[in-house]
Amino acid sequence: MKTTLDSRQLHAFAALARRGSFTLAAKDLFLTQSAVSHAIKSLEDDVGCRLLDRVGRRVLLTQAGEQFLRHTETILREMEAARVGLEHLSKWGQSRLRVGASTTACQHILPTVLREFRQSYPKCVIRIEPGDNAQQLDLLRGGQIDLAVVLEPPPQNLKELIFVPLFQDELRFIVAPTHPWVQGAAPDREAIEAETLVLYNKTSQTFRLVNEYFRMEKISLSNVIELGSMEAIKELVKIGIGAGVLAPWIARTELEHGTLVSLPLGARVLRRHWGVAYLKGRRLALAEETFVGLCQSTTEALGLKAPGAAA
């Protein structure tokens, strides 16, 4: 198999072709004449043909050398462009940020985070990919996003990820203020099984958590409306279609205005843990570290408690 061409040999060949002299080429490259001569000999051995003719003190390109020079100049330009591009990325604010997030995080968390991020990185190219947890993990593995604002993945997925905790929340019943559960006693198993539960879609991790919670409580979920939007869940609950299950911070405005009421699922609390995930082994760029820090400060400002924080 042919070896890859050595960039030092290409630089020596280009300088020699440009200057027509080993002495001048060596001076331009800050090398000895013998070093340039050795580089050219090695290059000719690699490509398998003569590239230069010596005519007295002058150096002239052969026909093969003329053709090879065109390729060499293209290669060296591309190498320089690659270097400049990397230097450009290393400058403050010159980068890209690809973030995956659930629609809930996109609506309630990311606007504030991105507004503050843009102030520090006005030239950063930002792309947001909305989707559920499973989709975000697939995008991370495929290198299509850099960071994902997600619920803590199952233990088997954490082996390949770094998960930076942000906050924990509690899933509760959300009902209309006229719902019988508001004035009466806490709903028992029969009441929950008889009620229409409005839940986030069945492919989501939230649905799996809710389903597992009620399974352990020996409550059958036989009457379920499945929706792909937390906003749609709230609207159905407001008009009395059933009882929703979601985190109160997602319905903060409605709870404050009294258009919805929050009730516990039962004696046992069902919590979720949110964070920012990225592939293990990746070293975060400064822009990415800044984004994670802004997620932490934004969720704290929203009153969302970090895991282990006092209530």
Contacts of residue 218, Cβ cutoff 8 Å, sequence gap at least 6: 189
Whether the pTM exceeds 0.85: the reply is no
* Placement of tokens 């400058």 in the chain: 91
Categorize the per-residue pLDDT at 311 as very low, low, confident or very high, splitting at 50, 70 and 90: very low
Share of the chain above pLDDT 90, in %: 49
**Domains in the chain, ordered, with CATH?**
7-90 (1.10.10.10), 96-167+273-301 (3.40.190.10), 169-271 (3.40.190.10)
Categorize the per-residue pLDDT at 31 as very low, low, confident or very high, splitting at 50, 70 and 90: confident
The pLDDT of residue 291: 95
Share of the chain above pLDDT 70, in %: 94
Model confidence pLDDT, tens digit, residues 269-285? 999 999 999 998 888 88
The pLDDT of residue 207: 93
Model confidence pLDDT, tens digit, residues 207-246? 999 999 999 999 998 899 999 889 999 999 999 999 999 9
Strands 125-130 and 96-101: parallel
Categorize the per-residue pLDDT at 91 as very low, low, confident or very high, splitting at 50, 70 and 90: low
Model confidence pLDDT, tens digit, residues 159-202? 889 999 999 999 999 999 999 999 887 889 999 999 999 999 88
* Placement of tokens 């958590």 in the chain: 209
Question: Smallest Cα–Cα separation from 174: which of 222, 232, 227, 238?
Answer: 238
Dihedral, 54, 60, 64, 68 alpha carbons, nearest 10: 120
Q: Which residue has the higher pLDDT, 84 or 182?
A: 182
d(CA 288, CA 147): 8
The pLDDT of residue 3: 64
The pLDDT of residue 1: 40
Mean pLDDT of the chain: 88
Please answer whether residues 51 and 17 qualify as being in contact, where contact means their C-beta atoms are separated by less than 8 angstroms.
no
CB-side neighbour CA atoms (13 Å) of 119: 6
CB-side neighbour CA atoms (13 Å) of 297: 11
Residue 294's CB: how many other CB atoms inside 10 A?
A: 19
* Placement of tokens 């939007």 in the chain: 229
CB-side neighbour CA atoms (13 Å) of 10: 17
